[in-house]
Structure 1
Amino acid sequence: MNPQHSPVYMPNLPKPPHNPDDADTIADWRKQVRKALLAARTDMPGDMRVPAVAVICQLLKDVLASADLPAKARVGFYWPVQGEIDVTNVIGAHIAKGGQAALPVVTARHQPMVFHRWTPDTSMVTGFANIAIPATQADQEPVVPDVILAPLVGFDQQGYRLGYGGGFFDRTLEALGFKPVVIGIGFAHARLNTIFPHQYDVPMDILITEQGIEYFGR
C-alpha cells in the first residue's frame, strides 16, 4: 500500500482549550484527548488497522536500515499494550542483521526507566502496569540505546508526543545524558495541531505513520 494513499480513521476529539496558558486547563484537555485517542485506537476497524500496521512496519524497516541511523544500532523499543503497533517482528529482523534491541523497565514510580537487552529468545515476565519485561533484567546490567522507538497516543505538527501521562518517557531521555534518535510510532488519526507542550516535553526526531515518514531534525 502506498503510504500517501492509506485511508485514515478519524476519531472525534475534544476542541482545543480556550485558555492555553492555564496549566490546569491544558492538563484536563490532554486527559480528554488521551482518552479519546486510546478509544479510537482500540476501536479502529481491522480492515484499516491491518494494512496500516503493515505499512508502518515496512517504513520502520526502511528507517532502521537507512544511513540516517548508526549501523547495527541498539534499538530501545516497546512491548505493545493497549492497541499499540506491534513492531517486534521488525526488531527481530533488525537483530538478525546484526543489530541489538532492548526493552524499557520501570524500576519505580516517578523514576527514569532503564533498558535491558532483548532477543526473540528472551524469556519475559510481568512488570510495572502488567507490561512484559525481560526476565533477565534482575541479573544483567542495563544498556543504553542509540535509538528509541516511542509508541504514540497522539502527536503534533512540531513532533511532540502525547503519551500516557506518567512522564516516564521524558524522564528517561533526560537521565540518559544524551539524546538518542527518537522515532515515534503511531497511527495518522492521532495527529493534533499541538499538544501544548510543556518545557520538559522532548520532541521526536522521526515520525512514522501509515501516511509516511516525517523528519523533525535534531
Structure 2
Amino acid sequence: MSQDSKSSEQELAKHAVRKAGLAARAGLSPVERIEHSLALTNFADALGVVPGDMVAGFWPIRDEVDPRPLMDALARRGCSLCLPVVQGENLVFRRLEKDGQLEPAGFGSMAPGPDAQAVRPNVVLVPLSAFDRNCNRIGYGKGFYDRALSELEKLADLTAIGVAFAVQQVEEVPMEPHDRQLDGILSDRGFLKAGD
C-alpha cells in the first residue's frame, strides 16, 4: 500500500471518529450539557493541579462542554488562568483576570485582548471531538492544539488534559506518529489518567 493510500485511509478513519464524537455530543439536550459541564467540578481534585499552576482553559463554542465552572474551581484552589487566542496558524495564551474584558478570539471563542499578559501555561485543558480509553484525542482537524502542545512541551513540563462529555468516548482514536496522547481525559463521569 502506498504512503498516499495509507494517509487517505487514516484521514477517512479520523473523519469517521470525529463525526461520531460530534454527533454524540450534539445529541445531548441543553440541560444535559449544563449538568454534565457542572459535574466536571466534582473531579477537580483528581487533576493533580496545584496552587501556582498556570491553567489554560477554553471558551466553549457550539455544543462543547463548558469548562468555565471547572476553571473557576481551579482558580479558587490558587491556580492562575489563561485562554487561547488564534494567531495565524498558532495559539497564544493570554492571562485571564477576574472581571477582565474579553473579545472575539477566533472560531466563536472569547479571550482577553492584546493588552493582556501573554503567558505559558503548564496545564492545558484541551477541547476535543472524540477520545478513547487510552487518552488519545481527535480535535477539529486544524491542528491548533497539536502545534501548541508541541511548542509548550519544548519549554517546560506540560500536563495536557482533554475535557469532554463522556458520550464523546469512542472505541479507538486512530493515531499517527505526530499525534500526542493526552495525560488524561476529564468528563462528567470522572478523570481517566493515561496509563491507568
Instruction: Say yes or no: TM over 0.5.
Output: yes
* 1:163 alignment counterpart: 139
Letter in 2 for 1:143: V
* 1:33 alignment counterpart: 17
Q: Does 1:55 align with 2:39?
A: yes
Q: Does 1:90 align with 2:57?
A: no
* 2:173 alignment counterpart: 195
For residues 211 and 97 of structure 1, what CA distance do their matches in structure 2 show? 21
Q: Deviations over 1:110-153 (max 9, x none)?
A: xx311100023121111222321212xx2344211121111221
Please say if residues 65 and 164 of structure 2, whose CA atoms lie closer than 8 Å, have aligned partners that are also in contact: yes
For residues 199 and 86 of structure 1, what CA distance do their matches in structure 2 show? 30
Letter in 1 for 2:69: N
* 2:53 alignment counterpart: 73
Q: Deviation at 1:162?
A: 0.8
Deviating above 3 A after TM superposition, structure 1's stretches of 4 or more consecutive aligned residues are 46-51
For residues 68 and 30 of structure 2, what CA distance do their matches in structure 1 show? 19
Please say if residues 67 and 163 of structure 2, whose CA atoms lie closer than 8 Å, have aligned partners that are also in contact: no
Q: Deviation at 1:25?
A: 1.5
* 1:6 alignment counterpart: none
TM-score by length of 2: 0.86
* 1:123 alignment counterpart: 101
Please say if residues 79 and 131 of structure 1, whose CA atoms lie closer than 8 Å, have aligned partners that are also in contact: yes
* 1:133 alignment counterpart: 111
Give the gaps of 5 or more residues in structure 2. Answer: none
- Between 1:88-97 and 1:154-163, the stretch displaced more is 88-97
Percent identity for Structure 1 against Structure 2: 29
Q: Deviations over 1:66-95 (max 9, x none)?
A: xx3333311001000121111212222322
Please say if residues 21 and 169 of structure 2, whose CA atoms lie closer than 8 Å, have aligned partners that are also in contact: no
Alignment of 1:93-104 (within 5 A): 93-104=73-84
Please, what is the CA RMSD of the aligned residues? 2.0
For residues 140 and 197 of structure 1, what CA distance do their matches in structure 2 show? 36
Give the gaps of 5 or more residues in structure 1. Answer: 1-20
Q: Deviation at 1:49?
A: 3.5
* 1:4 alignment counterpart: none
Letter in 1 for 2:46: V
For residues 16 and 146 of structure 2, what CA distance do their matches in structure 1 show? 21
